[in-house]
Structure 1
């Protein structure tokens, strides 16, 4: 593994020459995360690695990374369930016809419980998923959201009900079985802080870290070796896949760029 960042681009934007063409050339199951030190594309293919964890320190761009990945999958025909307690981080997607956006804890709870039904429906199709769009489950501030869901469940849980929130249980089921149902999770958080089981946390085959501490690295990427130096530069991250960490300049896409790109996609303009 190399820790040098000298060969990385200083910035990577949707407006860069040739960048949109590069995105169009990606397989339908893949999204560009950024460019590595050798100039090659660092991407995630959700057919092989169905779930992605993003964890950054303050100002590290985790919401931007979620937006950039989500927008690419929407461009390729996926649908998205966007769950965010702030209610303002992903307004770019709120009016898109293929996006369901939920912000309050009751709405997020109901959406995840409904997701359990959708997971079962898709699995019962027995691999006959032609024509069924991929579903991206996007959780911003996920650890906080899961803690809120646990407290919310306690307010009306009956004596004979399971202790674990059914919403959190549904998310864990998707992490375990989502690949065969074409349901994929983009999770912004540490995962260990929100109540997910160890087995569920292990389902994140791609981990994106930026502005991380050594402790965060050891929790989320221990098999990738000692923690490299974290960069404060905008868009700099390490992408961990198959036990290897790749220094990466991530693609940065603004709210307006994502919304305009997807509006043009829906109109058949690109």
Structure 2
């Protein structure tokens, strides 16, 4: 009898079974505190009813209201349970062999609720319209006022609650999730894989992160929504993190939760492989690494036949090669310098600095290798080797670049082994960046890493290091910002100096219309300025030269033209 009374008072099963915790359900239907509440609440309610009928009626009314609210909630979710939870539990009976399973699915996951939505009939639309116009404003008014009062109380108490935050233990905030609990201490790998496939097929909630916990008497699986990086990263994030990095570290962008993604050319890999489809932002990623090299006093060699890096024209420390002959000479010189640095390092200490870092950017490497081979076949003498010295130089840089501080950033849509000089040369790329990739490209470059779904967000990359893929939103810089950051004086703890944003090297006081828009000389976007030039032919400034296909204008003429245009025209109107 004492044991029975103890179990009754503490909410434990009366027959002495274990596995029924107090706060959670465990193996039972109710947690211990609910059983305890029921065991004490029913006798208490009966006594109050016998002694005080009026108070008992009030309590019964409150309980009836709570039961009605709970019943309505269950009624609303009945289709959800019938469509997702019940079929999933039925399918899980086979792999689990009759083990008791609890399944929780948040309706807010993906498109679960919209999948169940049905188009309303005209009568239902009319009823909902009448409800929204006549009843809903009245019913929402008390709730809105109560919420406003609660917000006012929170603002009043914020000075005190903010100080008390230091005593609060952080809890686990999973957000919308699918949670499965099996009353068994262990599940094999095959069982877990089968359960994952069943849940993914029966509950189509999109791309989720799966976590298994087999510690304890029960096995718990949890599928949560994959947290994404921000949709856009700009110069502010770069200026915030750049002064904190070492000379061999480079900021690429922000990852999940706004965490900075930093690449180390000393610890991770001396060379970077970039593979992406057309328009994915390969040149933007290369520009971001290049400006950080230049900001620290390094040099950049750009092999770019199509002119994707016009931001680097005329910058100090940049060797821009657009012709095969220029590429050939630059690569041969770079390999000779790297070889000399390695020879000098043999007689120096381990921490000897060979000199400024040099980054070699090879745009569209598949086509570049072909151009170098063709150029050498046309120009070589009979006594010279058949293999292009420039292609040999690329291979030498890949194998000896770390100690000589020569790094290669190879860009290609499909970075095949033949394009880079063989499988052994491609293995020197320990850092591989992919965007808008295909299944073939992923399996060819990073077969050891699981392939996530390719994102359609511009600037969203997968940075794969050591077989681990990290999603990253790469920072985007405008042409003016890139040229300003490339100056070594631009990097300071205080950020980018305001004068540098306008100090973009060019042809003296002659700038193009796009540069004037980027620098703020004219208060319109480039497209809007083009429209104004077409409309205001009498008062618009006249070109004073040409740089490639773009017209050059005097800076003071553009500024005076912008000052004369007193009537503001919005971009939307210009576009129209």
TM over 0.5: yes
Contact 1:64/1:254, CA 8 A, preserved across alignment: no
Give the equivalent residue in structure 1 for 2:479.
255
Closer, same or farther: CA 2–252 of 1 in aligned 2, 3 Å = farther
Give the Å deviation of 1:238: 0.4
Give the equivalent residue in structure 1 for 2:270.
50
Closer, same or farther: CA 240–234 of 1 in aligned 2, 3 Å = same
Give the equivalent residue in structure 1 for 2:285.
65
Give the equivalent residue in structure 2 for 1:39.
258
Partner secondary structure for residue 239 of structure 1: strand
Q: Does 1:199 align with 2:424?
A: yes
Give the Å deviation of 1:40: 2.0
Alignment counterpart, residue 376 of structure 2, candidates 153, 156, 176: 153
| Equivalent-residue separation in structure 2 for 1:5 and 1:209 (angstroms) | 19
Q: More helix per residue: 1 or 2? A: 2
Contact 2:294/2:487, CA 8 A, preserved across alignment: no
Alignment counterpart, residue 13 of structure 1, candidates 231, 234, 240: 234
Q: Give runs of aligned pairs for residues 99-110 of structure 1, distance below 5 A.
A: 99-110=318-329
Q: Does 1:79 align with 2:303?
A: no
Give the equivalent residue in structure 1 for 2:441.
216
C-alpha distance after superposition, 1:34-69 (max 9, x if no partner): 212143222211112100011111110000100011
Give the equivalent residue in structure 1 for 2:340.
121
Contact 2:484/2:490, CA 8 A, preserved across alignment: no
Give the Å deviation of 1:115: 1.5
Give the Å deviation of 1:215: 0.5
Contact 1:2/1:247, CA 8 A, preserved across alignment: no
Q: What stretches of structure 2 of length at least 5 have no aligned partner? A: 1-207, 211-224, 498-576
Q: In terms of Rg, which structure is larger?
A: 2
| Equivalent-residue separation in structure 2 for 1:195 and 1:124 (angstroms) | 25
| Equivalent-residue separation in structure 2 for 1:257 and 1:39 (angstroms) | 22
| Equivalent-residue separation in structure 2 for 1:261 and 1:2 (angstroms) | 38
Give the equivalent residue in structure 2 for 1:238.
462
Contact 1:51/1:184, CA 8 A, preserved across alignment: yes
Q: More strand per residue: 1 or 2? A: 1
Give the Å deviation of 1:199: 1.0
Give the Å deviation of 1:249: 0.9
- The TM-score normalised by the length of structure 1 is 0.91
Give the Å deviation of 1:212: 0.6
| Equivalent-residue separation in structure 2 for 1:210 and 1:184 (angstroms) | 21
- The TM-score normalised by the length of structure 2 is 0.44
Partner secondary structure for residue 230 of structure 1: coil
Closer, same or farther: CA 267–24 of 1 in aligned 2, 3 Å = closer
Structure with greater contact order relative to length (CA < 8 Å, sep ≥ 6)? 1
Give the Å deviation of 1:2: 5.7
Q: Matched residue pairs, number?
A: 266
RMSD: 2.3
Give the equivalent residue in structure 1 for 2:92.
none
Closer, same or farther: CA 12–123 of 1 in aligned 2, 3 Å = same
Contact 1:5/1:247, CA 8 A, preserved across alignment: no
Closer, same or farther: CA 68–5 of 1 in aligned 2, 3 Å = farther
